[in-house]
Amino acid sequence: MQKPTLDISTRFGVDPFFEEVGVCIINNDVCNSNLFAGEFIDLIVTSPPYNVGIDYDSNDDTLGYEDYLDFSRQWIQNCYEWSKPHARLLLNIPLDKNKGGNRSVGADLTRIAQAVDWKYHATIVWNEGNISRRTAWGSWMSASAPYVIAPVELIVILYKESWKKQLGSKESDISRDEFMAWTNGVWTFNGESKKRVGHPAPFPRELPYRCIKLFSYVEDVVFDPFLGSGTTLIEAHNNGRFGVGVEIDRGYCELAQKRIMNSRSLFTTLREPE
Ligand SMILES: C[S@@+](CC[C@H](N)C(=O)[O-])C[C@H]1O[C@@H](n2cnc3c(N)ncnc32)[C@H](O)[C@@H]1O
């Protein structure tokens, strides 16, 4: 019997970097609005570049702030066009930043998403517990100009048209304890080691794992427009979901493919999505 595939390449005429049962990696720019001509996404789990000067191999992480907001508007709009009506967007972004001027990044991107027509649902605060790395105090023990830094990031939860999921397998695979713990909107777990993964800003596996189990059905299509080292797709297909990722850097696509191949388990149980 032939294994089911999502077959994104045939459906949208895109040239995949890697496509196998249940998983598709596309080496392209997510700001390209012609990448997909139609809706296919049930859940987006992603962390865009934060524009804080990270040394990515293919994109400039030092844009002027207005250019960064324009870039954000473009990809958030594209994701909206490619999403099914009940789709959710789980957006991991900083609360704020102080490099190159203090900016309310979390509030600004949430506002842009809403302007694009994503509806706001809630925000999870991810406590990364990295307070020990703290070095900048501003004016030490003086009210002159102290710096306040919250060692947290946000996971903003948005949806396209309706919060209630009407379509899909209707099969949830979350345990009672997971559901109770994760619906408390403060999540505490450590970040991932860049060195261990070989990418400058990887997700800890726990982040997409929780988002996927809490917010999608088994066999849903999970999308990450900034795939990086592939963590979202690893968790998507290890948990019986289809996974599609876009990544601009070919080297990171190779890394993502390698990590996915090394962690695969559930492919054979997937059916064609609706
Ligand atoms: C914060 S990292 C994502 C890391 C990912 N969550 C992981 O677990 O490895 C952002 C990624 O977006 C990619 N990127 C930047 N601009 C892009 C664009 N316009 N289109 C697609 N990918 C892009 C970068 O190369 C980088 O790998």
- The structural domain count of the chain equals 1
On whether the CB atoms of residues 87 and 40 are closer than 8 A, the answer is no
What tokens does 19 get?
């496509």
Q: Is 273 in the pocket of ligand 1 (CB under 6 A)?
A: no
pLDDT at 58: 87
Any domain includes 178:
yes
Any domain includes 252:
yes
Rounded distance, CA 32 to CA 244, Å?
Answer: 16
Q: Which domain does 30 fall in, by range?
A: 8-13+23-134+146-269
Any domain includes 3:
no
- For the chain, the maximum distance between any two Cα atoms, rounded to a whole number of angstroms, is 71
pLDDT digits (tens, 9 = 90+) for 41-75: 999 999 999 888 888 888 888 889 999 999 999 99
pLDDT at 268: 45
pLDDT digits (tens, 9 = 90+) for 107-165: 999 999 999 999 999 999 999 876 555 677 889 999 999 989 898 999 999 999 999 99
pLDDT at 266: 45
Any domain includes 251:
yes
Distance 94 CA to ligand 1 centre (A): 15
The torsion angle over the Cα atoms of residues 115, 230, 173 and 185, rounded to 10 degrees, is: -50
Q: Is 235 in the pocket of ligand 1 (CB under 6 A)?
A: no
Q: What angle do CA 160, 163, 168 make, to 5 degrees?
A: 90
Taking the CB of residue 1, how many other CB atoms lie within 10 A of it? Answer: 4
On whether the CB atoms of residues 48 and 72 are closer than 8 A, the answer is yes
pLDDT at 130: 66
Any domain includes 1:
no
Contacts of 50 (CB under 8 A, 6+ apart): 61, 93, 94, 97, 105, 201
Distance 149 CA to ligand 1 centre (A): 25
Nearest-atom number in ligand 1 for the CA of 249 is 25
pTM (whole model) above 0.85: yes
Assign residue 233 the CATH number of its domain. Answer: 3.40.50.150
**Is 50 exceeded by the pLDDT of residue 1?**
no
Any domain includes 274:
no
Beta strands in the chain (DSSP E): 18-20, 23-27, 41-46, 83-94, 119-127, 152-159, 186-188, 221-224, 242-247
On whether the CB atoms of residues 159 and 86 are closer than 8 A, the answer is yes
pLDDT at 221: 97
3-state secondary structure of 238: helix
Any domain includes 37:
yes
Distance 252 CA to ligand 1 centre (A): 8
Nearest-atom number in ligand 1 for the CA of 75 is 19
